[in-house]
Amino acid sequence: MVAPDGSQIGVKTKEEALWLANQLDMDLVEVAPEAKPPVCRLMDYGKFRYEQSVKNRESRKNQVKTVIKEVKYRPKIDDHDFDTKNKKAVSFLMEGHKVKVTMMFRGREVTHPEFGRALLDRMVAELEGIAVVETPPSLEGRNMTMLLAPDPKAKARRKAAARAANDEAAAEQAAAEHESADEELSAGEPVDEVSVDGDAAVIEAEPVEG
Tens-place pLDDT, residues 3-58: 888 888 888 888 888 998 898 898 988 888 888 888 999 999 888 889 888 888 88
Identify the pLDDT of residue 147. 96
Q: Are 34 and 26 in contact (CB under 8 A)?
A: no
| Bigger pLDDT: 122 vs 201 | 122
C-alpha dist (Å) from residue 8 to 2, 3, 34, 40, 133: 5, 6, 18, 10, 56
d(CA 175, CA 181): 10
Please say if the pLDDT value at position 202 is more than 60: no
Give the confidence band of 186 by pLDDT, cuts at 50, 70, 90.
Answer: low
CATH topology for 14-61?
Answer: Ubiquitin-like (UB roll) (3.10.20)
User: Do 14-61 and 68-154 agree at the fold level?
Assistant: no
Q: Are 116 and 105 in contact (CB under 8 A)?
A: yes
- DSSP H or E segment with residue 180: helix 152-187
Nearest CA-CA partner of 133 in 121, 117, 118, 119: 121
Identify the pLDDT of residue 68. 92
Tens-place pLDDT, residues 139-173: 989 999 999 999 988 766 666 556 667 767 777 78
Q: What is the CA radius of gyration of the chain?
A: 38
Please say if the pLDDT value at position 205 is more than 60: no
Q: Are 103 and 77 in contact (CB under 8 A)?
A: no
Question: Can you give the residue ranges of every domain in the chain?
Answer: 14-61, 68-154
Homologous superfamily in CATH for domain 68-154: Translation initiation factor 3 (IF-3), C-terminal domain (3.30.110.10)
Name 32's Cβ contacts closer than 8 Å, sequence gap at least 6: 38, 39
Identify the pLDDT of residue 166. 73
Identify the pLDDT of residue 160. 57
Nearest CA-CA partner of 129 in 145, 148, 146, 150: 150
